[in-house]
Chains A and B, each alone.
Chain A
Amino acid sequence: MSESMIDLIYLASASCFILALIWLNTVKTSRRGVVTGVLGMLLAVVGTLLQPSIEHYTWIAAAIFLGSAIGIPLALVPMTAVPQRTALSHAFGALAVTLVGTAEFYMNNAHLGAFEMTTLCIEVFLGSLTFTASLMAAGKLQEILPSRPVTYRGQNFVNLGMFGVALAVAVLIAVNPSSPLSSQVLFPAMIALCMIFGVALILPIGGADMPTVISLLNSYAGLSASMMGFVLNNKLLIIAGALDGSSGLILSIIMCKAMNRSFMNVLFGAFGQVQASKAALTQKTYRSAGAEEAAELLRTASKVMIVPGYGMAVAQAQHKVRELFDILSGQGVDVKFAIHPVAGRMPGHMNVLLAEAEIPYDKLIEMDEANADMPQVDISLIIGANDVTNPGARSDKTSPIYGMPILDVDKSRMVMVIKRSMNPGFAGIDNELYYMDKTLMLFGDAKVFLTELVKDLSSND
């Protein structure tokens, strides 16, 4: 098939990808968006297979079969595991990009121009660091690796140094790609350095920062695919990669804003370590209650705001939350869910969990809308969320989360917090919300407590 014909197929494919993203912007059109995305990919694969330069199909067929066989179970993971699955797929994407870049380098390092060689170096650079960084992130999220931040003295210095050396090696390769030094020493060295750097980059990242980091890795994976397009002179690759890159970029900006932090601070800040000393400073008093009392109070409420957090996912409590929602709604209570942008371990994590539990999506509201509602809310019920409700972020200038936009649950008439114990959360920051007069602590595992709550609420009808 002629080259221009294939280019037209690629153009159709790129258009499909853009339409897919446009249609993903509302729930109503989202299914159409996904189907269009599949069509775009189908066109891309068919167009490529029609290229005359492709002569051998056996290995391709085997790889397509094997990849599909691995891909299907990865698509069927429970919604609680979607963050680690997403990190893992960023790793696969980055692996593919790195391998193609490496093969291209060793096939063509004598023919490629300076510009292509530079983009190839960026491609392999980003690809190899994203590969190991994503594997690390997936390992931390799956808790195969310790999810606490791992820090040591001089860490930022070591990391930046490693990054600088890798960059210098990349420049040396780009300047003189066809020398034996480049192909035998420098190129493998660059890949190795980037891979180690990827690991080192994720070591100090804690769970609360994962939404930002996953978005950033998403962006890198896209950008490296785009760079591959420059090397292979393929505009479809450039477009699709740029779409993915900008998506990751926007999501990471949204995540950073939602935590009032900068990229640099997320990557080099080692959040979790900051405040260990300040907790347990004073013994303050708090009120606690059992399920029965909580049920009594909920029955008298007319407006309830539920604030879910990662703890809900850990306890697998989303289906119990749905039962609570059904009972309260059935009794005429107006129940809504306030979703903080960084609740959970990836952007939008809470929404998919609650949607899976069949909670109608128009009950899931964003932070600004929720905060406007707060003064009218009778009871806000916090399930497994902590920092995103901490009023210290508004008032306490010494708090590490000072300035972070929060859900103003302290402005509702009453606050209930389901929590395992008074231990400060993951980031080690004490939450003054728990000591307010209007706050009632409900101790226990979220799922167990909600089960009792639902039982009490339905028994006394």
Chain B
Amino acid sequence: MSHEMISNIFVFVLATFVGLQVIQRVSPLLHTPLMSLTNAISAISVVGSLVISGKGETGFSTVLGTVAVCASMINIVGGYLLTYRMVRMFKKRSPKKS
């Protein structure tokens, strides 16, 4: 195994520990927004999709990459927007009815 792979495994393990610690502190009140936010974050696969699509190495890879960019964008735009909509709904006091 090359040095690079080992350092990648390091990053993976440490990021998992950070994730476990951070997520445990999220209030159960916000578990739905949490899932919707992490869903948007996991659309980071857009990075790989952009590279494949933009390289245009073969027609086949361009098609797959482009569809992948599209699928990732759905999650980025949809995920962040929905999460923002949800967290804005949580209010301390119910607004006075007119």
A: which residues have CB within 8 A of B?
Answer: 14, 17-18, 20-22, 24-27, 30-31, 33-35, 37-38, 40-41, 44-45, 48-49, 51, 53-57, 59-60, 62-64, 66-68, 70-72, 74-77, 79, 82, 85-86, 89-90, 92-93, 95-97, 99-100, 102-104, 106-107, 113, 115-116, 214-215, 218, 221-222, 225-226, 228-230, 232-251, 254, 322, 325-326, 339, 341, 346-349, 351-352, 355-356, 358-362, 364, 366
B82–A74 touching, CB < 8 Å = yes
Please measure, in the bound complex, the distance between the C-alpha atom of A339 and the C-alpha atom of B89, giving whole angstroms.
17
Please measure, in the bound complex, the distance between the C-alpha atom of A64 and the C-alpha atom of B74, giving whole angstroms.
8
Contacts of B29 in A (CB 8 A): 27, 348, 351, 361, 364
Please measure, in the bound complex, the distance between the C-alpha atom of A349 and the C-alpha atom of B25, giving whole angstroms.
18
Known A-B contacts A30-B90, A103-B60, A326-B97; A41 and B12 likewise in contact (beta carbons under 8 Å): no
A30–B87 touching, CB < 8 Å = yes
Please measure, in the bound complex, the distance between the C-alpha atom of A241 and the C-alpha atom of B46, giving whole angstroms.
12
Interface residues of B in 43-78 (CB under 8 A from A): 43-58, 60-62, 64-78
Known A-B contacts A21-B37, A34-B80, A250-B23; A356 and B89 likewise in contact (beta carbons under 8 Å): yes
Pairs A-B, 6 closest by C-beta atoms: A67-B73, A348-B31, A54-B54, A246-B19, A71-B77, A75-B81
- Per a CB cutoff under 8 Å, which of B25, B77, B92 touches A361? B92
Please measure, in the bound complex, the distance between the C-alpha atom of A436 and the C-alpha atom of B95, giving whole angstroms.
38
- Per a CB cutoff under 8 Å, which of B20, B82, B84, B95 touches A250? B20
Interface residues on B, range: 35 or more
Contacts of A106 in B (CB 8 A): 58, 60-61
Contacts of A66 in B (CB 8 A): 70, 73
Please measure, in the bound complex, the distance between the C-alpha atom of A218 and the C-alpha atom of B44, giving whole angstroms.
14
Please measure, in the bound complex, the distance between the C-alpha atom of A26 and the C-alpha atom of B87, giving whole angstroms.
10
- Per a CB cutoff under 8 Å, which of B16, B35, B46, B64 touches A251? B35
Contacts of A26 in B (CB 8 A): 27, 30
- Per a CB cutoff under 8 Å, which of B34, B39, B44, B60 touches A236? B44
Known A-B contacts A74-B74, A115-B1, A236-B47; A37 and B54 likewise in contact (beta carbons under 8 Å): no
Please measure, in the bound complex, the distance between the C-alpha atom of A247 and the C-alpha atom of B40, giving whole angstroms.
12
A99–B49 touching, CB < 8 Å = yes
Q: Closest Cβ of chain B: how far from A340's Cβ, in Å?
A: 10
Residue of B nearest to A59 (CB): B66
Known A-B contacts A30-B87, A241-B44, A251-B34; A92 and B50 likewise in contact (beta carbons under 8 Å): no
Q: Closest Cβ of chain A: how far from B70's Cβ, in Å?
A: 4
A sample of 26 cross-chain residue pairs with beta-carbon separation below 8 angstroms, ordered by A number, consists of A27-B87, A37-B40, A40-B41, A41-B46, A49-B50, A51-B51, A56-B56, A63-B66, A66-B73, A75-B80, A90-B39, A92-B43, A93-B39, A100-B45, A102-B64, A214-B35, A218-B38, A230-B8, A230-B12, A232-B51, A243-B41, A247-B23, A254-B31, A346-B31, A351-B31, A361-B90
Known A-B contacts A26-B27, A240-B44, A251-B31; A54 and B79 likewise in contact (beta carbons under 8 Å): no
Please measure, in the bound complex, the distance between the C-alpha atom of A164 and the C-alpha atom of B19, giving whole angstroms.
30
